Amino acid sequence: MQVMQLKTQYRWIWLLALVLFFAFLMLPQAASGRVQAPEVSDAKLESVAKAYIEVVAIQEEYRPRIEAAQSPEEAQQLQQEANQEMVEAIEAQDNVTLDEYNTIIQAAQMDEELGARLSAHIQRELG
């Protein structure tokens, strides 16, 4: 039971660290006023947040397996499996395509307001 709680806490901390990293990346662009983010509905952001959480979970699942791979070929195969699962996790979400997901994630890295909105949706989903 404690292990599950620890894993849940670790996952939440790791996701929060990623969100803060995105916020850090946004500061220079936002300060210069050069970035114009696309209009993104809350429903779309909710779908992106759900997909993002699943993508991070898949990355966490595969990272130790890839690091423990016995050969570069095995590591590459595991990376391909992880990539396929991440794509499927994104495509399984209603209201967002793979291209939209990638565009929104990139825009959230450069636009402070969009990044904050996405962070709020991620935090809500994590409960």
CA 9 to chain CA centroid, nearest Å: 17
> What integer is the mean pLDDT of 82-97?
96
What is the Cα–Cα distance from 77 to 91, expressed in whole angstroms?
A: 21
Q: What does the alpha-carbon distance between residue 33 and residue 51 come to, in Å, rounded to a whole number?
A: 29
* Domain spans, the chain: 2-126
Q: What is the pLDDT of residue 89?
A: 96
Q: How many helices (H) and strands (E) does the chain have?
A: 5, 0
Sorting pLDDT into bands at 50, 70 and 90, what band is 19? low
Rounded CA-CA distance 21/59 in Å is 17
**pLDDT reported for residue 40:** 93
Confidence of residue 122 (pLDDT cuts 50, 70, 90): very high
SS3 of residue 21 by DSSP:
helix
